[in-house]
């Protein structure tokens, strides 16, 4: 709880006590997007950039062309490309990179001291 409160306090401080560069950005955004009737503002919601936030974002939208099904969480970087952790593995080949045969990569990889793969 202390960590989330500290993070929330830090984010609020950035918006409530901005430096001169941020003040100019806020003024430009307010002038561009705001009106007297509907002023422009920034709202920080609890849960932003958390798993719960990504689940909420995905829950409210339908399926996407990148393979995400309806009601599934969106990618944490909102990318349209599936990455290794986002896709299923089928016969040691990833759908995102069907040309890569990971079994062959593993068979050819050695980790011996002095080998080219030695970190």
pLDDT digit string, tens, across residues 29-74: 999 999 999 998 877 666 666 666 666 666 777 777 767 777 777 7
Average pLDDT, the chain: 71
**Model confidence at 19: pLDDT above 80:** yes
- In a shared domain, residues 71 and 102: no
In angstroms, the CA 56 to CA 68 distance is 14
Alpha-carbon gap, residue 16 to 43, rounded angstroms? 11
Comparison of pLDDT for 25 and 81, the residue scoring more: 25
pLDDT at 83 over 60: no
Q: What pLDDT band is residue 116 in, cutting at 50, 70 and 90? A: low
| Same domain, yes or no: 1 and 28 | yes
Domain check: are 5 and 40 in the same one? yes
Question: What per-residue string of b and e applies to 86-107 under the rule 16 or more CB within 10 Å gives b?
Answer: beeeeeeebeeeeeeeeeeeee
Q: In this structure, are 1 and 27 located in the same domain?
A: yes
pLDDT recorded at residue 94: 47
Q: Are residues 38 and 57 in the same domain?
A: no
- 31 and 62, same domain (yes or no): no
- pLDDT, average across residues 69-83: 65
Residue 10 shares a structural domain with residue 35: yes
Total domains in the chain come to 3
> Looking at the structure, do residues 35 and 54 belong to the same domain, yes or no?
no
Same domain, 3 and 33: yes
Owning domain of residue 91:
87-119
Percent of residues, the chain, with pLDDT higher than 70? 46
Contact indicator for 46, 8 with CB cutoff of 8 Å? yes
Contact yes or no for 75/53 (Cβ under 8 A): no
pLDDT value, residue 37: 93
């Amino acid at each position: 709880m202390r960590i989330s409160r500290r993070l929330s306090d830090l984010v609020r401080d950035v918006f409530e006590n901005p430096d001169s560069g941020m003040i100019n950005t806020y003024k430009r955004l307010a002038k561009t997007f705001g009106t007297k009737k509907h002023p422009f503002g920034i709202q920080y919601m609890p849960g932003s950039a958390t798993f719960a936030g990504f689940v909420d974002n995905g829950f409210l939208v339908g399926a996407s062309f990148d393979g995400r099904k309806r009601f599934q969480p969106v990618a944490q970087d909102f990318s349209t490309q599936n990455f290794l952790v986002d896709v299923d593995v089928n016969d040691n080949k990833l759908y995102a990179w069907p040309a890569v045969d990971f079994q062959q990569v593993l068979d050819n990889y050695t980790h011996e001291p002095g080998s080219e793969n030695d970190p």
